[in-house]
Copies of this chain bind each other. A is one copy, B any other.
Amino acid sequence: MSLKDTSENANCRAMSDVLNRIGDKWSVMVVGMLSGGTLRFNELKRQINGVSQRMLTLTLRNLERDGLVTRTIYPEIPPRVEYGLTDLGKTLGEPINALWDWSAANHEAIIAARLAYDARHKETEAPPARKYAGAA
């Protein structure tokens, strides 16, 4: 199925749906982390630099709900919870990896393109504090 099918809402919605998960950087991080094996909550939190407890919890819940991540509670004291990828989660790892590779391969090109673009438009574009053209 090609990308051209916006009118075909079924696929379009599927993609949007998945994109909402993929596009979330924390989800991607979590899937990446867990691809190396199961981890506990705080292990994840430590390894994923910059994630807040709240976001990690929400991310994990969403991933779990979508059937991508498993959550195993060990009713001990202190409590222990381990997260891992489901089979579905593992298959998702592949397209994500493709994207990761693409990013690594082309990030520089993008940066360069941005610089070029900005340079190109610095001449054309006017300063930010310009409201009306009243007097000047």
On A, residues with C-beta under 8 Å from B are: 1-4, 6-7, 9, 11-12, 14-20, 22-25, 28-29, 31-33, 35-36, 47-49, 64-68, 88, 91-104, 106-107, 109-110, 112-114, 116-118
Contacts and interface: CB of A to CB of B under 8 A. Distances in A.
B109 A3 contact: no
Contacts of A68: 110, 113
B110 A66 contact: yes
Q: How many monomers of this chain does the complex have?
A: 2
B104 A6 contact: no
Q: Which of A96, A110, A114, A116 gathers the greatest number of chain B CB atoms within 10 Å?
A: A110
A83 to B, nearest CB: 15
Interface of A is mostly: helix
Contacts of A18: 99, 102-103, 106-107, 110
B14 A23 contact: no
Nearest to A92: B102
